[in-house]
Structure 1
């Protein structure tokens, strides 16, 4: 019997499978059914496939096992080698992915070089070669990661103020399973609107290639490659935490990506709180418990170290007991002595 979580994950997977697989007209309406019986979904509108907190929590439990890469992605050409040219027009509508996401996420978008804010019609034929009819020249970003408002202006020295973030970073995707995907699937996830957000450039750089609890780091060449180095990254604006976790899991569900245990647990804690009406921000005691659990696992993984710690704990315990007894003895000596009446029994 199919559970609701399996149905949701299956529908999302179908959305990927039926995504446009070649050049198409600008009016392409690729059949991409979403969760809960959503009708046709345009490629450019796939961000509507973000699951609710409860559905994301269920989908999280259905994800496959993590499939960590044994070598770093530099071995295969890094970003371009694994995921193709940046911002490829995968749906064939004549506009690159970056401009499409800017147009979706910015307010007061100006599509023309003319003075004032101009709509798409005014900008037709005036854009850059990558998007001649809908280049975004300026606009206003209300950044989901920081909560700040950023004025975007296209230009060599200004464009980086607003960057397009992969919610699940490409290096992270590679490290946990994309290394074994086919070329088309990797190209799609790199340009999927579901996995993309226009964000503050500095926040994007700070996030780098991290998941919620771990980041792939190092390289095979230097012998430092690790698929899951702690800590991870969350948006600084905590009011966006629930939606971020929901989108992260939604992308993982669509593409069948396994996650490291630490990331899955971080998402589980957040989504559980979100589904209950909370803000998804893990409390301080929960953070402490999380750190304690990781330390405990590290200690127990080394038997010798564990034995040393156990012996040390025993010695400390014995020392505390001895000090306690000594303290009681001192207190007893300082108490005023009472004169007890002589017993006349037996006389």
Structure 2
């Protein structure tokens, strides 16, 4: 009678291969093969749809008064307007003029969009050198699902530190409400972080991407496959007066 031991051994070996092949590491791939927790994985969770009509878009009517210190949680604002919160967060050496704990009068921006240093000075004709950009422009948000999320969430989106960044005024104007398929920062070193933040905002507010936009984002993230998805904007919720 022939021994069946070899067959048992082969079966066990085959089973081991199958089990090994099915098990994953803690870095289990998500989102079409991208590591979990990365912007690339999050991108693959976003719905892909053609842009909706921009009909009905109205900045103040649909997204609230600019820089109104709205947040997701009622009462969690710091009584400083959102523009000054972001200037305080993003400017190096941010200072006020002593008239208000909130109003930022000067500082230096290491501009993420151009890579230049910009000296900011509050005043007529000078304040516009540094603008606060909506990373996902509000017009772009409108055509990618914000029409359906309700007024309160739209106002939160418009004032969410995750979606706001101090940037070179002319670059912000050039961007307008274009998506990533039509505009990316000239500073290529910032493109990964920029796209990752757009994805984080769209994921947080249930917005969509259009096919060209998703392709452009994927091309950028191919150069930085482990770019993490940012969790928040780290704004100074308890902004204190800054010294001269």
Q: Quick check: which one's helix share is greater?
A: 1
Match of 1:82 among 56, 62, 65: 62
Which whole-Å CA distance do the structure 1 matches of 2:80 and 2:153 have between them?
Answer: 20
What is the alpha-carbon distance in structure 2 between the residues aligned to residue 134 and residue 276 of structure 1? 37
CA distance in 1, matches of 2:44, 2:170: 33
Q: What corresponds to 1:144 in structure 2?
A: 112
2:156 partner SS: helix
Relative contact order higher in (CA < 8 Å, ≥ 6 apart): 2
Give the 3 Å change call, closer, same or farther, for CA 53–210 of structure 1 in structure 2.
farther
Please say if 1:200 is aligned against 2:168.
yes
Q: Is the contact made by 2:134 and 2:165 (CA closer than 8 Å) also made in structure 1?
A: yes
Query: How far apart are residue 276 of structure 1 and its match?
Result: 6.6
Partner in structure 1 of residue 140 of structure 2 = 172
- Structure 2 equivalent of residue 246 of structure 1: 196
Counterparts of 2:29 and 2:142 in 1: how far apart (Å)? 29
Counterpart Cα distance in 2 of 1:193 and 1:146: 20
CA distance in 1, matches of 2:122, 2:79: 19
Q: What is the CA-CA distance between 1:237 and the residue it aligns to?
A: 0.8
Contact persistence 1:87–1:191 (CA under 8 A)? yes
Cα 1:67–1:87 shift into 2, 3 Å? farther
Listed as ranges, the gaps of 5+ residues in structure 2 are 1-27, 71-75, 228-244
Separation in 2 of the partners of 1:166 and 1:268?
21
> TM-score under structure 1 normalisation?
0.52
Inter-partner Cα distance in structure 2 for 1:246 and 1:202: 22
Q: How does the TM-score come out when normalised to structure 2?
A: 0.74
Q: Distance in 2 between matches of 1:53 and 1:250?
A: 14
2:162–2:201: 8 Å Cα contact kept in structure 1?
yes
Which structure has the bigger radius of gyration?
A: 1
Contact 1:195/1:247 (<8 A) preserved: yes
How many matched pairs? 192
Alignment of 1:36-47 (within 5 A): none
Task: For 1:82 and 1:53, locate their aligned partners in 2 and report how far apart those are by CA, in whole Å.
Answer: 34
Q: Which runs of 4+ in 1 moved over 2 A?
A: 3-6, 64-70
Aligned residue in 1 for 2:80:
95
SS at match of 1:146: coil
2:43 touches 2:199 (CA, 8 Å); kept in 1? yes
Contact 1:5 1:62 survives alignment (8 Å): no
Superposed CA offset, 1:244-285 (max 9, x none): 1111111111111110000001111211221179xxxxxxxx
